Structure formats: structure tokens, C-alpha cells
Amino acid sequence: MSAKHYVQRQVAIGSGSTSTSPAWLVADYRLLTVSVESSASLGPTNVVIQGSNNDGFASDLGGPSQTTGWSNITIIQPGTLNAGGNVGRGIFTFDPPGYRWVRSFVSSTLHSVASAMTVIFEGTSL
């Protein structure tokens, strides 16, 4: 009997999004891919990817302003999206993810930057 293989996508930050994405459950995924695309200069902001091992439902994580229970997995700096500077795209894979929940955010003072970018999580089971 073979195991089921599945892939699921979640748009964490997109056009009209807030600066902090909702928590997304990644507990069963073997690989987590994060895609970041910017249509404008990111300026001085970073895209922060955070993880949490909290049990329970997303509502137990306290919402976007909650910082307790979250750890930085990585910080994507503006110039890393392409060799030419601040506008571009990047794909990052975490193998294995090692946490139950993920979310992304940019500084709330730079919320207009969040509306010019897309952050997509994709989980893959193996």
C-alpha cells in the first residue's frame, strides 16, 4: 500500500493583505517552499518567515499581533531577491520544516510594501 502524496498552497501575503499573514498549519508536510515576488522596490524592509510549535488551532496562536510562541525561521533581505537589487522574486525551500505553523510579515510601518508583494507557502507531503 502506498502513501498519498499531496501539495497545498496558501497565499500568505497578497494584494490588499495586512502586513502579517495568518498562521498556516504545516505539520504534515515534508517540504515547505516559500515564494516571494515583489512588483516594487522593497526599500529597507525585510520579509520575515516565522514558525511556531504551538499545539491547537490557529485561533490559539493569538492573531497577527501575537509575538509569544513565534520564532524567526529566516529573514529575506530586499537585495537577495535578485542580483540586480530590490525588485524580483525568490523561492526558498525548508527541508524538513520542523514546526507546526508558519506565517510571514513585513514591518507594519511599511504596509504599502506588503501590497506590492506576494508571499506564497506551498507544503508537500512525501
> Considering just the CA atoms, what is the radius of gyration of the chain in Å?
15
Q: 84-99 pLDDT, tens per residue?
A: 554 567 888 887 667 8
Looking at the domain assignment, is residue 46 inside a domain? yes
Q: Domain range holding 27?
A: 7-62+69-124
- Higher-scoring residue by pLDDT: 51, 126: 51
Looking at the domain assignment, is residue 2 inside a domain? no
Nearest to 104 by CA among 112, 95, 114, 94: 114
Q: 28-70 pLDDT, tens per residue?
A: 788 899 988 876 655 556 788 988 888 777 656 766 667 778 8
Looking at the domain assignment, is residue 100 inside a domain? yes
CATH assignment at residue 83: 2.60.120.380
Mean pLDDT, residues 7-26 taken together: 82
Looking at the domain assignment, is residue 1 inside a domain? no
Total domains present in the chain: 1
Question: What's the mean pLDDT when you consider all of the chain?
Answer: 76
CB 50 within 8 A of CB 72: yes
